[in-house]
Amino acid sequence: MRSTAALFAVSTLVSSALAATYPLKDSFVGQGFLSGFSHQAIPDPTHGRVNYVDQPTALAQNLSFATDNTFIMRADSFSVVDPSAPGRNSVRIQSNNQYTTHVSVYDIRHMPQGCGTWPAAWELGQNWPAQGEVDILEGTNDIEPNQSTLHTSANCAMPASGLAQSGKAVTTDCDVAANGNAGCGVQATAPNSYGKSFNGAGGGFYAMERTSTFIKVWFWSRNDPTVPADVKTAGATVNTDAWGTPEALFVNDQCDINAHFGPHNIVINLTFCGDWAGLPQFYNTLGNCPGTCNDFVNNNPSAFNDAFWDIAGVHVYE
């Protein structure tokens, strides 16, 4: 009887340790973004045609504003930009708190769209690239679908196939020093995971689970009947075991995830042109973005009327 009881106790401990249920740590809704995140008025690390403004400037210029259940951040869509200026005014925010093993859920009604745009929702460590980067929602120039990507220091790679994910691996070396910092990326299968199609469907939900041995990214369109209840409505816990096959799965086989990823801040931003949205992406855009990317961004303010984030909430479970 003792051995049976001991075995049951061990089994219970193992089951508890493996359970994918996480309690709520932080919930950012409306005004919570103004207190839980900092506006980063910094030079763009990706060399974009952008001028990131601080929070007082963003609020004064209506580039950031919040209601009880909505947070908006957007680009200046009124001004012609002097070629000698840093770039078009925009917003980049970073969470004040950091996270390691956790789940983050993003409820987004609208994301920036348009020629020259490069929006992203992502997480990274302060010591980059040693502490890694996870790009959850990212793309350029309205080119669908979404791509989720890891960027790391050396000796981290992902299999080209054979993983239990719905997306397609497009690059496999996560090292920032390889392949022009392409990272190891997985392209989603659903066009409405990004850009105009995402917005046309009313947005949707992104979620990322990070452990010491894997990183997963999920996407559900707004009216997808398979959206889990604990994703659709933020509550006290989430259970990732019930979420089905992820869009992207990054595993430990050829990468020590625990060694390559440290404490992360959440970042949401909108830049223009730069290292990815400029050449050659700008010319490859469906719809044929005209001229050069920098000139287009400088001289066409009304083209950025739809270059805004409308975020219902970001919820972190730990």
**Catalytically annotated residues:** 133, 138
> What is the rounded CA–CA span in Å between residue 212 and residue 101?
7
> What is the rounded CA–CA span in Å between residue 216 and residue 210?
7
Dihedral, 41, 80, 196, 145 alpha carbons, nearest 10: -60
Cis peptide before 159 (omega within 30 of 0): no
> What is the rounded CA–CA span in Å between residue 28 and residue 71?
9
User: What SS3 string covers the chain?
Assistant: CHHHHHHHHHHHHHHHHHCCEEEEEEEECCCHHHHHEEECCCCCCCCCCEEECCHHHHHHCCCEEECCCCEEEECCCCCCCCCCCCCEEECEEEECCCECCEEEEEEEEECCCCCCEEEEEEEECCCCCCCCEEEEEECCCCCCCCEEEEEECCCCECCCCCCCCCCEECCCECECCCHHHCCEEEECCCHHHCHHHHHHCCCEEEEEEECCCEEEEEEEECCCCCCCHHHHCCCCEEEHHHCCCCCEEEECCCCCHHHHCCCEEEEEEEEECHHHHCCCHHHHCCCCCCCCHHHHHHHCHHHHCCCEEEEEEEEEEC
Place of tokens 């990317």: 293
